[in-house]
Each structure stands twice: as C-alpha cells, then as structure tokens.
Chains A and B, each alone.
Chain A
C-alpha cells in the first residue's frame, strides 16, 4: 500500500489568528479601539465595564460584546447603562474565538470609538485566542489572592494592562499589592497596572484617561 510523509508546518491556531488579524485590520480602519478583558469568574469585568460606560457616555461612543457560557445577564447589565451590547453564549466552551467576534462585528455601530470584549471568566484558555483586540486587559480581584500572576502566567504575559479590582476590600484582606505588582512585572515588564474599585471609583479616572489616549493614538494613525 503506497504511503507518503507530508511536512505540513501549520499553526494549530492559524485559522483563529488569521480571522483575528482581519478583525484587527477592520477595527483599526474604522478607528475603533478594541479591548479584550480576561479574568477569573467574578473578578469584576462587568462591573468595571458598567463604570467605564458611566464615565464615557458623555464623551465617547462605546459598544460591548459579552462572552458567557449561558445567559444574557451581562449584556442586559451593560444595556441598562445605555450602551449597545451583544451576548455570545458559548454553550460550554471556555473561551471566545475570533470567528464568534466576526459574526457580531457587522452589527457594531460604525460611529463606535471603543469596543470592549468581555471574555468567558477563565484565567487559562482565553489567553491562547486572539480576538483582533488592540489591547488585552487582565483583571485580578483582591479576594482572589496575590499569588495569581505566577500561577496563571499566560494571561499576564500576553496582556498589556493589569487591572487590580475590588481595591476597597484591601483593608480586610491579606493581599500584598506591592508583591502582586512586582510578580506581574517579573512576568511581563511591559504591563501597565491600575488599582481600581468599582464601588469607590478609585483608579477609574486614570484608566479612562489611558483609554482615551490609546484611542487618540489609534485615530491619529489612521486619520
């Protein structure tokens, strides 16, 4: 029986990377700054987005894609803030993939300046899938513990920004904020770090200013 060896050398994530590159090019052409938010379940991704929505709504247009295994709950919370939101329910999959974003993209209003993509709550698998984002945020909430960056390194090495959330709980927790910053920077010296609270508003103005600056850079490059 004739047999044959074929050298293929195909990236197993090649299809996803290609779709992500197309999405990135389209979003940049449209001047939309896309942010992919990663964290464990319950770290406060939706609460952060609600606070960003409140602070951006008078000055900028934003849209949100929500990823969850089940329910429309997160999209409903965002819509309640007057922001267009689409819910992707993965029906079990532990991460969003670029093809899921590509299906929603035609519905994102053309005048949008920001597109936030809230990934499925999971600090492992979403790190391997580009979605066409310009910036990747990893959120870490204080109750999760300050040992997480080294335990789940890929989420931190592939991100541009680390947002420490629930900083209002710091007085009650054995959470060493300097240690977590130092350990995250050892993994990824380019990481920008914001310490925030959706309850007190701590750190949110700085985060909004950073986002606005990134959006201006993007618009200037494609003007």
Chain B
C-alpha cells in the first residue's frame, strides 16, 4: 500500500505544472499505469481523492489508463501481450524476454484552467 506516497509525489509535479502554466485550477489528470507496475488503480484513485482536498487539483477528475504487459523475445524476436508474470516466449519457449511495456507509472496529461481571459 504505497499508493499514497506515489500520489504525494504526483501532487508535487501537478503543483509545478500549474505554476509553470499559470493555471488557476487543474481539472483533469490522466495516468498510465502498467498492469505490473506494482500499484492498484483503485487504491490510486482513493489516494488521489483523499489527497486532492485543499489543493489546486481539488476539482480534478482522475483517469487511469491501465497498460497491458507486452514483451519481446530476445531469442526469436516475437512480440506479444502476456497475461501473467511467468514469462516464457510463446513462440520458442525462451525465457530471455525484454519487457516493452506494462510496468510503467506515468503522468501522461493534465487539463488546466486559468482565470485570465
């Protein structure tokens, strides 16, 4: 349950982005969370809602896009999506796989509002 520390770090980035863009409010936040990133999207959402009160993102809507795991076999080059952590190439059974995506935790996009015309 380290989602709250991750959200605390996220808010530092959000505050910095709002300052940089002279925004009054953040209205939307989109995260890309790999299926094997080690965090649970539902818990991130709860932590976000708990943390946002009294911040510049108080009214922000959080969207979490879950990224499935994709691997590439270093032996035969086959790329595919996988469902479990047991990683053997489906084409040649080699265990030598490179993880292409599915372990990331990324702040992808924010929507900002400013009061200036």
Contact = CB atoms under 8 A, between A and B. Distances in A.
Contacts of A186: 86-88, 95
B66 interface: no
Interface residues of A, number: 32
Contact of B115 (A1, A11, A128, A150): A1
A166 B105 CA distance: 36
B35 to A, nearest CB: 12
Given A8-B110, A93-B5, A187 B86 contact: yes
Interface residues of B, number: 37
Interface in A156-195: 157, 185-187, 189
Given A4-B114, A12-B31, A97-B5, A189 B96 contact: yes
B79 interface: no
Nearest to B95: A189
Given A94-B2, A128-B37, A189-B95, A11 B117 contact: no
A8 B10 CA distance: 11
Closest 9 CB pairs of A and B: A125-B2, A153-B85, A12-B105, A189-B95, A128-B38, A10-B107, A4-B112, A8-B107, A2-B114
15 contacts: A3-B111, A4-B21, A5-B110, A9-B108, A10-B107, A11-B105, A12-B9, A12-B107, A124-B2, A128-B2, A150-B85, A186-B87, A187-B85, A187-B87, A189-B95
Given A6-B110, A93-B2, A187-B86, 7 more contacts: A8-B109, A11-B104, A12-B105, A13-B6, A97-B5, A150-B86, A187-B85
Interface of A: 1-13, 15-16, 93-95, 97, 124-125, 127-129, 150, 153-154, 157, 185-187, 189
